[in-house]
């Protein structure tokens, strides 16, 4: 794991001028200028907190996450930490362990400038399951995606090597079957237990699972095979320990595939949103227009504008 590097990550969803400003601030500790407004969500189980605030009059979101303990750091952690006894009873004792500073860092993600849509994405909300037919997609979802989905500028920056070029794990330049595989910004790359990478396809005209047809099978098989090989070679994680899937609905409408460690309960890996890539390939082999024709179910947050559109169309009658 010595070739795994640590780095701070910043959303690319900003204009070039603003981006420049944010990157400079990040280098000098952007959090020093962060004015907290509210906690959007707090997960004690995932040990993550999502905070909404402002950085110099720009809306911002900061995500702080305590990451798993790396096996490599255990000997040093056990030897060099300070232990404060909290309780002792018979053979049982609990302590507060204070590790050396370099072993107690926290993964931090900054989104700035953040949009209202980002704020909603991270807020706690009730969710509903929606069943979307082919007709619903055409009349409700597609117009919605075209009018108000998140910018995919960060994706184009990766494909054009304007951002994260040094993080690429493997790439295939073919315009039809090619892709770029790199660490997802949810992963700090410190240990493989929570491994998380994404493969971003080169083709710019496939928005999501819904657009996939049998002609895309070579692309999907290429991502599956080369992604698995690259992860084995670079991180020594075999294919049988990977969960490889697509989200429907995704947050970003440029086709990408998630590669996560099977032992990691990654956000969004539940059956209501994740579609295993191997199943997608089999479905397309059996029925070339499977994803165009079949109703697809997915969760929607109560305050999501897409949920409002489904409600208006009478598709969420009791919600």
How many C-beta atoms lie closer than 10 Å to residue 289's C-beta? 12
Applying CB under 6 A, does 122 fall inside the site for ligand M7G? Answer: no
Q: How would you list the strands of the sheet with 256-261, edge to edge?
A: 170-172, 179-183, 196-201, 256-261, 242-247, 274-276
Applying CB under 6 A, does 185 fall inside the site for ligand M7G? Answer: yes
**Shortest CB 229 distance to ligand M7G, Å:** 20
**Site size for ligand M7G (CB under 6 A):** 15
Applying CB under 6 A, does 128 fall inside the site for ligand M7G? Answer: no
Applying CB under 6 A, does 268 fall inside the site for ligand M7G? Answer: yes
**Shortest CB 268 distance to ligand M7G, Å:** 5
Among 122, 154, 235, 245, binds ligand M7G (CB under 6 A): 154
Among 233, 251, 287, 305, binds ligand M7G (CB under 6 A): 251
Applying CB under 6 A, does 190 fall inside the site for ligand M7G? Answer: no
Contact 299, 129 (CB under 8 A): yes
Catalytic member of 256, 258, 264, 275: 256
Tokens for 258, please give them.
């998630």
Applying CB under 6 A, does 118 fall inside the site for ligand M7G? Answer: no
Tokens for 124, please give them.
């706690």
Judge whether 71 counts as a catalytic residue: no
Closer CB to ligand M7G, 73 or 125, in the complex: 125
Residue window 208-247: x/- pattern of binding to ligand M7G, with contact defined by CB under 6 A: ---------------------------------------x
Three-state secondary structure readout of 56-91 = CCEEEEEEEECCCCCHHHHHHHHHHCEEEEEEEECC
Q: What angle do CA 305, 306, 311 make, to 5 degrees?
A: 95
Question: Among 6, 25, 5, which Cα is nearest to 106's?
Answer: 6
Applying CB under 6 A, does 188 fall inside the site for ligand M7G? Answer: no
Closer CB to ligand M7G, 78 or 124, in the complex: 124
Contacts (Cβ under 8 Å, ≥6 apart) of 242: 195, 228, 231, 259, 260, 261, 262
Closer CB to ligand M7G, 81 or 115, in the complex: 115
Rg (CA), the chain: 21
**Shortest CB 163 distance to ligand M7G, Å:** 7
Closer CB to ligand M7G, 99 or 299, in the complex: 299
Among 12, 136, 188, 304, binds ligand M7G (CB under 6 A): 12
Distance from C-alpha of 126 to C-alpha of 303, rounded to nearest angstrom: 8
DSSP state of 241: G
User: Which residues are near ligand M7G by CB under 6 A?
Assistant: 11-12, 154, 164, 182, 184-186, 198, 247, 250-252, 256, 268
């Amino acid at each position: 794991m010595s070739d795994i590097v640590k780095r701070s990550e910043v959303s690319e969803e900003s204009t070039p001028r603003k981006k420049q400003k944010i990157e400079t601030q990040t280098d000098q500790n952007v959090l020093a200028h962060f004015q907290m407004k509210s906690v959007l969500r707090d997960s004690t189980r995932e040990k993550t907190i999502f905070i909404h605030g402002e950085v110099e009059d720009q809306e911002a979101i900061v995500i702080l996450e305590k990451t798993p303990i790396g096996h490599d750091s255990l000997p040093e952690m056990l030897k060099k930490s300070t232990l404060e006894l909290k309780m002792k009873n018979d053979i049982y004792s609990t302590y507060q362990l204070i590790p050396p500073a370099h072993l107690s860092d926290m993964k931090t993600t900054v989104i700035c400038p953040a949009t209202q849509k980002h704020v909603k994405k991270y807020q706690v909300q009730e969710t509903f399951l929606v069943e979307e037919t082919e007709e619903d997609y055409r009349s409700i979802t597609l117009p919605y995606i075209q009018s108000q989905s998140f910018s995919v500028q960060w994706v184009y920056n990766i494909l054009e090597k304007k951002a994260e070029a040094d993080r690429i794990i493997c790439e295939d330049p073919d315009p039809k079957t090619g892709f770029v595989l790199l660490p997802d910004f949810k992963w700090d790359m410190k240990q493989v237990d929570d491994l998380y990478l994404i493969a971003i396809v080169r083709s710019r005209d496939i928005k999501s699972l819904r657009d996939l047809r049998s002609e895309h099978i070579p692309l999907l098989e290429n991502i599956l095979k080369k992604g698995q090989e690259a992860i084995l070679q670079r991180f020594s994680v075999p294919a049988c320990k990977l969960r490889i899937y697509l989200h429907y609905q995704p947050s970003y409408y440029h086709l990408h595939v998630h590669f996560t460690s099977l032992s990691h309960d990654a956000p969004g890996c539940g059956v209501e949103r994740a579609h295993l890539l191997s199943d997608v390939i089999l479905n397309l082999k059996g029925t070339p227009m499977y994803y165009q024709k079949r109703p697809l179910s997915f969760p929607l947050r109560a305050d999501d504008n897409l949920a409002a559109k489904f409600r208006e169309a009478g598709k969420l009658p009791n919600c």
